Structure 1
Amino acid sequence: MIRPATPADIPALHALIRELAEYEKALEEAKATEEQLHEALFGDSPAAYAHIAADDATGETVGCAVWFLNFSTWRGVHGIYLEDLYVRPTARGAGHGKALLTELARICVERGYQRLEWSVLNWNTPSIAFYDSLGARPQNEWTVYRLTDESLTKLGGTD
């Protein structure tokens, strides 16, 4: 079962995000609080969206997709950037990941968005094989850059 997240899902969503960070060997970087997630998803100006995958038999939350809108100047329309896709190891292979991606693709088609994009760590070969099986293709000619912490403060500071 795939459904949009609700405020009541924040604790489970927060736990899933931390599990993903641990899987990606970066738990120390996962600093978001439940309050921050609530504000981002359900505050006055939501900046992100989330969908929950729940086990059909138990209703237990087993996965999530956290996403936001991006914009293509070349295509002139919005798209979806998938920030996090995570399914608990005990629930993998049951179709939850594909169902989450299918729902986001459906939203793209319904709203006229022309891209569904995400990043995957180079060492995450099970996920890469899964994405390839869906017809997704890597954008190898692009390199992701990021400013955080001291570099961001130095560049954006008022010194």
Structure 2
Amino acid sequence: MQAKRTDPMLKIRPFAPDDIPQLVLLLQEMQRHYGVPVPAADAIRASLNALPAGAGILLAETDAIMGFVAFSSLYPGPGLKPGLFMKELFVSERARGQGVGKALLRALARLALERGFARIDWTADRRNERLQRFYAELGAQAQEDRVFFRLSADALVEVAGATLEQRAGGS
């Protein structure tokens, strides 16, 4: 089966506050897709209104938002240049196979080059072979010499020497 061509009306653009209602729905779809808890719409709106410095979101849309890529600047990268970390690339189920993910990654790559960044890093689900093929077809290389770590929940509190009342997000 051949993938559909990218819609010529597809537009990639930065997230704006007016996008919050549609983006809330897409973020809820993403959480359901991953099988993780779905926060209340009000909590997602508050989070989008308080994006941390250095965080960015690009949206893919035609008549509605079909996907997004969320990223943050990081330093240092190769040659002590900054880079980007792609935290999430998500395309709505209804738009998969239409080139939306590829268009979002191309836009993120252009943004990185415009900013003088040396690379984009990200993680991917080790069990999702389709996703790994998608990235490989774009020329991305799995970094077998790296291990992804996470410090969260009680371990984060313990390492910080914080009390339970000081936990991130108040939870």
Report the TM-score when normalising by structure 1.
Answer: 0.86
| Contact kept in structure 2, 1:49 and 1:67, CA below 8 Å | yes
Counterparts of 1:15 and 1:142, CA distance in 2:
34
Corresponding residue SS for 1:3 = strand
- Runs of 4+ that moved beyond 4 A: 29-32
Partner residue in 1 for 2:46: 35
Indicate how the Cα distance of structure 1 residues 29 and 142 shifts in structure 2: closer, same or farther if over 3 A, else same.
farther
C-alpha deviation, 1:91, in angstroms? 0.5
| Contact kept in structure 1, 2:78 and 2:118, CA below 8 Å | no
Indicate how the Cα distance of structure 1 residues 13 and 75 shifts in structure 2: closer, same or farther if over 3 A, else same.
farther
Partner residue in 1 for 2:3: none
Indicate how the Cα distance of structure 1 residues 92 and 158 shifts in structure 2: closer, same or farther if over 3 A, else same.
closer
| Contact kept in structure 2, 1:10 and 1:34, CA below 8 Å | yes
Unaligned segments of structure 1, at least 5 residues: none
Indicate how the Cα distance of structure 1 residues 30 and 78 shifts in structure 2: closer, same or farther if over 3 A, else same.
farther
Which string of whole-angstrom CA distances, capped at 9 and with x for unpartnered residues, describes residues 118-145 of structure 1? 1111112221111010000111111111
Aligned 1:29-68 pairs, distance under 5 A: 33-40=44-51, 46-55=53-62, 59-68=63-72
**What percentage of residue pairs aligned between the two structures are identical?**
30
Report the TM-score when normalising by structure 2.
Answer: 0.80
Corresponding residue SS for 2:54 = coil
Indicate how the Cα distance of structure 1 residues 79 and 28 shifts in structure 2: closer, same or farther if over 3 A, else same.
same
C-alpha deviation, 1:52, in angstroms? 0.6
| Contact kept in structure 2, 1:39 and 1:46, CA below 8 Å | no
Q: Does 1:7 align with 2:17?
A: yes
Q: Does 1:105 align with 2:109?
A: yes
C-alpha deviation, 1:115, in angstroms? 0.7
Partner residue in 1 for 2:73: 69
Q: Residue 98 of structure 2 is aligned with which of 90, 94, 100?
A: 94
Indicate how the Cα distance of structure 1 residues 119 and 158 shifts in structure 2: closer, same or farther if over 3 A, else same.
closer
| Contact kept in structure 1, 2:67 and 2:100, CA below 8 Å | yes
Indicate how the Cα distance of structure 1 residues 120 and 30 shifts in structure 2: closer, same or farther if over 3 A, else same.
farther
Q: Residue type of the partner of 1:2?
A: I
C-alpha deviation, 1:93, in angstroms? 1.5
Corresponding residue SS for 1:108 = helix
Counterparts of 2:77 and 2:104, CA distance in 1:
26
Counterparts of 1:84 and 1:93, CA distance in 2:
17
Counterparts of 1:139 and 1:29, CA distance in 2:
31
Indicate how the Cα distance of structure 1 residues 66 and 102 shifts in structure 2: closer, same or farther if over 3 A, else same.
same
Unaligned segments of structure 2, at least 5 residues: 1-10, 164-171
